Structure 1
Amino acid sequence: MSEINDLRRQIEDIDDQIVKLIVSRFELVKKVGEIKKEKNLPVTDEKREEEVRQRWILLARRYGLSESFVDTFLPILFSYSKIYEVNSAKKRRIVLLGYGGMARALASLFKLTKQEVVITGRDLLKAEKLSNEFNFVTMDILNAIRWGELIISTFPPAVLLSDFSSKIYSNIKGKIFMDISSSKNLVFPYIEEKSLKENFIYVSIHPLFGPYIYPVGERVAIIPSKSSNDDVVKDLVKFFRDNGLYPLVTTLEEHEKAMAIVQVIPHFYLLALSESINKLSKELDIDFSKYQTTNFREVYKLIRKINDIKDVIMEIQSLNPYADKARELGVRELNNLYNELLEKKK
């Protein structure tokens, strides 16, 4: 046992060195973030990340380290590095309407950048629970929107189109209102009309990431409306960039077409794949969990994530104006592949 204890002490000494080196790396990353902010550069640099990844793989090969370790460890390192790159942004008075997963994701981001945030909604107990998690404040909705400068709604489309939200629209004159709906075909023209009638500024946004905390470096789509102008859009681009996101200014049509490709088709396939796996495993009477390949594990993680937010996924499938076309094409290509494989068996 004395030999094992001696080896463990050596391991602990190495652990100390590893932690110190990681802290030193993060300190350098922080300085990089300061320079990026001065030069108005985005936090995420995908080209640089790939360069670092390739260098790590070369080092792994040189020293006999598994490449799978590199692919597991580096995303974590990149993620936390981005957190260190984010600097305190100009303080804005932000109201988050809602308290679900995406509200939590945005709250965590604004906590990093030391924003002033009020979280509110129809259930103030739920709002207060989320507020307490990040040491923010809860108010009733009307007081919150009177206080706020930027109003970000995480409500689902049905709520945004309801009489409940109409009361909000009539009380935000002169303020900036944003929704985060994935599919905007119904929501956008409705709120745009409300903004012109009630004299508030409407800019629709779509955070292009899931409901996880500290989404530093992720992308956010920005869709101006008739009630916004170039100055407002430029201000919001700077706001999101200062808060660690990569803003993409787009149009409603371009956004919906893009979502048909990056959301509708993949989600459609994954939902069908989920059902196919479950039914085939029952028909073949086999527990496939013991035989998962690396690729299957990654795909199955996605399937579980999709099933966790199935209501949202089905909402996108229903509301995206190009969804029918996307699904028809998807089914057609599956049939083409199926027939191609049948031909090869002949």
Structure 2
Amino acid sequence: MNFLVTGGAGFIGSAVCRLLARDPSNNVVNLDKLTYAGNLASLREIDSLPNHRFVQGDICEADSVLELLRTGNIGAVIHLAAESHVDRSIDGPAAFIETNVVGTFRLLEAALEYWRELPHAAREGFRFHHVSTDEVFGDLPFDSGVFTEETPYAPSSPYAASKAASDHLIRAWHRTYGLPVVLSNSSNNYGPYHYPEKLIPLVILNALEEHDLPVYGSGENVRDWLFVEDHARALALVATRGAPGESYNIGGRSERTNLQVVEGVCNILDRRRPRASGASYRELIRFVADRPGHDRRYAIDPSKIERDLGWEPQETFETGLERTIGWYLENEWWWRPIRAQVGPVGRLGGSPDRGRGRESPVARPPSALGG
């Protein structure tokens, strides 16, 4: 099948491109603007494959996207390009509206025109897969409830609101114009090639460099965690087998508090890369003031995708975390140049799965750890 993946040089996008390009029957056009979190190094293992083509471009340029759809004879779009860092959205929401809302609208314009040109059989098989987040649903009590596909939207942050808006656009283009769309909303991802400002890689790298591990509040906020390669498999299934107009929640059934995540990283590093002093990395944990509008808990019910498409995660949180830490220990070549820019506990902000954004990051104050 011929795929267009937007944001394919980012964290989740590159995982999807690596998965799809390993199958020689697929052809992958990878569109990414290559702002700060887009990294061609994440595509190194597939960059020489004949069925993977990287294009540096902007999802807001509808004419250019339309040309890619036509020349690539695209059968499925997997739309991952997005601004996705909550702290950044609080500091500067305009970029999130531009990318996540306007960018999705422009992409829909191009996809609709392309789809209308297709012969009947190709129109029937075409899919526009919009990849979203569990954050559009707001938050849950600590002790009850899960997000399902029917959960009402109640976004808390500018990031979540921009993703909710783009979800609504996707559904509207299906209902109004008949564009065959599918949606997915996933829980927090983690794994190899994760941008170093995000919780798990930031904990790993701060710990290795003996820097503080600042945790928001008391660290009791809860997230459901999903290994990125499990998510990539789910996205490929939704894009190729999902029913038009349907949405699918994708979760790892792995709820953990932020403090449990940080302590889990410390425990593995204590075993695999002990500190010279012999002390535990847990001694580096520091609790700091909570961030505004910090959602209490996210929990995804993935029953629908398990039942309808036969997907289930292959990694538990423990095995996935072990693999992730092992990858960071063994691949300094990838993260060291980024780390030199981001710094130990500071952040330049950003999104792990994006195709459009600011050209030049600006240094910002230290960031605490917590999803």
Which category of TM-score, normalised to the shorter sequence, fits these structures? Answer: 0.3 to 0.5
Larger strand proportion, structure 1 or 2? 2
Task: Please state which structure has a larger fraction of its residues in helix.
Answer: 1
Scaled by the length of structure 1, the TM-score of the pair is 0.39
Tell which structure's C-alpha radius of gyration is larger. 1
Instruction: Give the TM-score taking structure 2 as reference length.
Output: 0.37
Structure with more contact order per residue of length (Cα contacts < 8 Å, sep ≥ 6) = 2
